[in-house]
Structure 1
């Protein structure tokens, strides 16, 4: 059995998500074969979505005779809504790593780096003043760039990461 296409899954899940119109997806009102039966692909797609936690059928089982047995409706889960969401919803937010730096501590680190430079005292003074007056947005951008540069400049980066994460 192969997985249904993502496009088909999104279309089906979008239909399921339309709670106002359907109060959950009534399988019996969905697509039908010319003979009036519900296509196996619909049941397979629903089962696939349910197995991944994107929807919750009232009951959906394929019995030994390969026939599907179900009870209506099928409702979308919060994980399913997040999958349909352009920004990934709360699921994406839960996977976000937040690192907090004290602004003054970070400013002090930047100023210390300026002091270590070979620049003239006049140049150092201008940069240190700009750092001291810089907005939080500018500091966040500086922190992102400093982190990227720091990781890129790690000597023996692979070995360091291997030791840190693998042991």
Structure 2
């Protein structure tokens, strides 16, 4: 028995994309409720469930009307900037604005490199020499070498897929 067979869900990815695309077509206006696809055999409840799901992920908004002892009723939905970015092939502005910049100060980078020097099989004399060279490096030279270090580190990752999977528990 598959997961789908055990739990029947009204959520439908195809319907969600169709809803978002219809909302995007009339952006910045709200989608006319009459334009919500129901001709594909979609039950009104499934459409509402999928709009609600999109709302919970911040991809659209709609006014919610709760009536005691009744189903949830939604006003016309409207796609959000996050929803438009989701539809965009390039990730939209969110992909540009959400860039993560990692900065190491010079002392932290020097400390990491010094630890790496200590882990080598080099003689103590060589380790001392290279650590003194490292300490004498100006910050500008260290900064210039950082990109090269990242490239070398990526080349040293034998199986990028395995490495990325090890990071998944930390997300």
TM-score (normalised: structure 1): 0.50
Greater strand fraction, Structure 1 or Structure 2: 1
TM-score (normalised: structure 2): 0.49
